[in-house]
């Protein structure tokens, strides 16, 4: 049960609260700053060791970001400002990452070396099983492909493939697979059932499993990923392709989730597809309950708090984010609905994440913090001798494209954020700050945080301001965390 007197009292007086209006009151603790478990949830069945979600924005989340987020114990939501086919390809790329690469990309024995090299460049890897009429006949390695390209020797896959294959049957324990790699001095094993290729085990992926024990994976070791979709029936093809590609959750992407179109879409998705559905965005209990009763497995909360969002300025609509999260959680609790709440927008650092979780969030969605990192797809820009990355709201004029000016007013801006370095460094700083925040109130986990933490009033700073084109300060490692 979430209860915060400062939020209740202020709302009773008609005043609603943002992150900057409150602080978490420190209390007695026996915990070291590294001890708390900050795990949360993204949806009913997707648990996160790191309760952070990368936003479905085209300057934030594509396949590289989604892979890095999942490895760290978080999750990414692939944006939809691209073709349905390309988005589904991104899903497959993320899902192939794990102990075993299921449904590996293969090449035909007669495929030209130049064509294989082009395919490798596009996909970002160079190992391909070779098949002849569906039967496994060889393996192309990165070294073999590069040598063939440089020397000009070998015209087809059959000319350059390795024919002495090391295989294992499905279900082989990983320890046994590693022993087989060692004895044969190979880095890859082909998983074969009869003559049918069913998977590929790589030493690199196993090493990742050891390095990232908290990764967000399914029971077969594959990384989990979510993807944004629009309203049905318009986006039905996209939904079908994403589900076929193995997406773990669909996120109904709307700036106003408490609407008949979003509610109907959630109902159809839950009725016709075996998939987790996260929907939003809402700002109160009524909206959260409406989506949960429609079948949503997770509720996104927040209209207007994001740094690249101008919805409040353009439409006059919105709700201070902390109150919105609290109202959504209280509404769900009142109806006995155990559905995770995702605080979407307004997060400027780890302190805001802690506040959001105290108020009722199970995880948070962030944009600008991650747009500043190496894994974000935004363009790198050198300005005044400093490195920045481009960042824009998905309702900005450039993101809307032809939709802007024809019945749809832009509700976002675009600009630059100071480069922050590697995404895992930023996530580590956020996680460390969250753990310290939990420890400050003696909370070992989220349940204890909500039982023990008390929010108190602080000075107010305006939330949801437009992102400046350039921040006039030297970029620092671990930007704004």
CATH of the domain at 340: 3.20.20.70
Record the pTM.
0.81
User: DSSP letters of 12-62?
Assistant: HTT----GGGEEEPP------TT-----EESSSS-EESS-EEE-S-TTT-S
For residue 469, is it within any domain? no
Whose CA is closest to 331, among 289, 278, 279? 289
Do residues 413 and 345 both lie within one domain? Answer: yes
For residue 471, is it within any domain? no
Work out the angle between the directed axes of helices 84-95 and 236-245 (0-180°, nearest 10).
Answer: 20
Torsions phi, psi of 60, nearest 5? -125, -55
**What CATH number corresponds to the domain at position 185?**
3.10.580.10
DSSP bridge partners of 140: 128
pLDDT by position in tens, the chain (length 481): 677 888 888 888 888 999 999 999 999 999 999 999 999 999 999 999 999 999 999 999 999 999 999 999 999 999 999 999 999 999 998 998 766 777 788 999 999 988 898 888 888 788 899 998 878 889 998 888 888 878 877 789 888 898 888 899 888 887 888 899 889 888 888 888 877 888 888 887 778 888 889 999 998 788 999 999 999 999 999 999 999 999 999 999 898 999 999 999 999 999 999 999 999 899 999 999 999 999 999 999 999 776 666 666 667 777 899 999 999 999 999 999 999 999 998 999 999 999 999 999 999 999 999 999 999 998 888 888 899 888 887 666 666 664 454 456 656 567 888 899 999 999 999 999 999 999 999 999 999 999 999 999 986 555 555 554 444 444 444 434 3
Identify the domain boundary among 158, 181, 211. Answer: 211
For residue 293, is it within any domain? yes
Do residues 155 and 37 both lie within one domain? Answer: no
Tell me the two tokens of residue 68.
Answer: 């890095």
Work out the angle between the directed axes of helices 63-71 and 423-440 (0-180°, nearest 10).
Answer: 40
What is the count of structural domains for the chain?
2
Question: Prior bond to 162 cis, omega within 30?
Answer: no
Do residues 79 and 147 both lie within one domain? Answer: no
Do residues 149 and 120 both lie within one domain? Answer: yes
Q: What's the domain range around 312?
A: 5-97+223-457
Identify the domain boundary among 151, 182, 211. Answer: 211
Whose CA is closest to 251, among 287, 233, 225, 272? 225
- Where in 60-164 does DSSP place strands (E)? 75-78, 100-102, 107-108, 128-132, 135-140
For residue 464, is it within any domain? no
Identify the domain boundary among 169, 185, 211. Answer: 211
Do residues 367 and 418 both lie within one domain? Answer: yes
Q: How would you classify residue 111: left for phi > 0, otherwise alpha for psi between -120 and 50, otherwise beta?
A: beta
Do residues 108 and 132 both lie within one domain? Answer: yes
Tell me the two tokens of residue 424.
Answer: 């895992």
- End-to-end CA gap in the chain: 29
Do residues 273 and 331 both lie within one domain? Answer: yes
- Name residues whose C-beta falls within 8 Å of residue 375's C-beta, 6 or more positions apart in sequence: 64, 65, 68, 422, 423
Question: Prior bond to 419 cis, omega within 30?
Answer: no
Query: Largest Cα–Cα distance of the chain, in whole Å?
Result: 79
Do residues 343 and 429 both lie within one domain? Answer: yes
Do residues 18 and 114 both lie within one domain? Answer: no
Do residues 323 and 426 both lie within one domain? Answer: yes
Whose CA is closest to 159, among 144, 180, 171, 170? 144
Do residues 286 and 183 both lie within one domain? Answer: no
Do residues 198 and 255 both lie within one domain? Answer: no
Q: Which residue has the tokens 């749809």?
A: 408
């Amino acid at each position: 049960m979430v209860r915060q007197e400062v939020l209740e009292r202020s709302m009773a007086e008609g005043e609603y609260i943002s992150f900057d209006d409150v602080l978490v009151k420190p209390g007695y603790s026996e915990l070291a700053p590294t001890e708390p478990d900050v795990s949360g949830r993204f949806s009913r069945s997707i648990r996160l060791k790191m309760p952070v979600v990368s936003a479905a924005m085209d300057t934030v989340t594509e396949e590289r970001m989604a892979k890095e987020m999942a490895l760290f114990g978080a999750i990414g939501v692939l944006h939809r400002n691209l073709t349905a086919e390309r988005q589904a390809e991104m899903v497959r790329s993320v899902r192939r990452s794990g102990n075993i690469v299921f449904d590996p990309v293969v090449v035909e024995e007669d495929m030209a070396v130049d064509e294989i090299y082009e395919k490798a460049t596009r996909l970002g890897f160079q190992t391909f099983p070779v098949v002849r009429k569906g039967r496994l006949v060889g393996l192309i390695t990165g070294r073999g492909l590069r040598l063939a390209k440089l020397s000009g020797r070998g015209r087809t896959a059959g000319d350059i493939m390795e024919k002495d294959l090391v295989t294992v049957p499905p279900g082989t324990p990983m320890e046994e697979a590693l022993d087989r790699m060692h004895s044969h001095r190979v880095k890859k094993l082909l998983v074969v059932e009869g003559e049918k290729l069913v998977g590929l085990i790589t030493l690199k992926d196993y090493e990742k499993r050891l390095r990232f024990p908290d990764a967000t994976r399914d029971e077969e070791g594959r990384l989990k990923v979510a993807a944004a979709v629009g309203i049905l029936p318009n986006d039905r093809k996209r939904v079908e392709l994403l589900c076929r590609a193995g997406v773990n959750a669909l996120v109904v992407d709307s700036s106003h989730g408490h609407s008949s179109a979003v509610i109907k879409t959630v109902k159809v998705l839950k009725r016709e597809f075996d998939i987790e559905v996260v929907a939003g965005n809402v700002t109160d209990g009524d909206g959260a309950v409406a989506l949960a009763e429609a079948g949503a497995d997770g509720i996104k909360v927040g209209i207007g708090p994001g740094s690249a969002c101008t919805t409040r300025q353009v439409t006059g609509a919105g709700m201070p984010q902390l109150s919105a999260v609290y109202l959504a959680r209280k509404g769900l609790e009142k109806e006995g609905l155990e559905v995770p709440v995702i605080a979407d927008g307004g997060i400027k650092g780890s302190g805001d994440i802690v506040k959001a979780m105290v108020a009722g969030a199970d995880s948070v969605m962030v944009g600008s913090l991650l747009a500043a990192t190496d894994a974000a797809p935004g363009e790198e820009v050198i300005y005044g001798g400093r490195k920045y990355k481009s960042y824009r709201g998905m309702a900005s004029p450039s993101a809307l494209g032809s939709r802007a000016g024809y019945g749809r007013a832009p509700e976002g801006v675009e600009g630059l954020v100071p480069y922050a370095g590697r995404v895992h460094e930023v996530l580590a700083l956020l996680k460390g700050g969250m753990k310290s925040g939990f420890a400050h109130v003696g909370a070992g986990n989220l349940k204890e945080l909500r039982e023990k933490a008390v929010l108190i009033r602080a000075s107010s700073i305006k939330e949801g301001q437009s992102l400046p084109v350039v921040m006039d300060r030297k970029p620092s490692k671990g930007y704004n965390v």
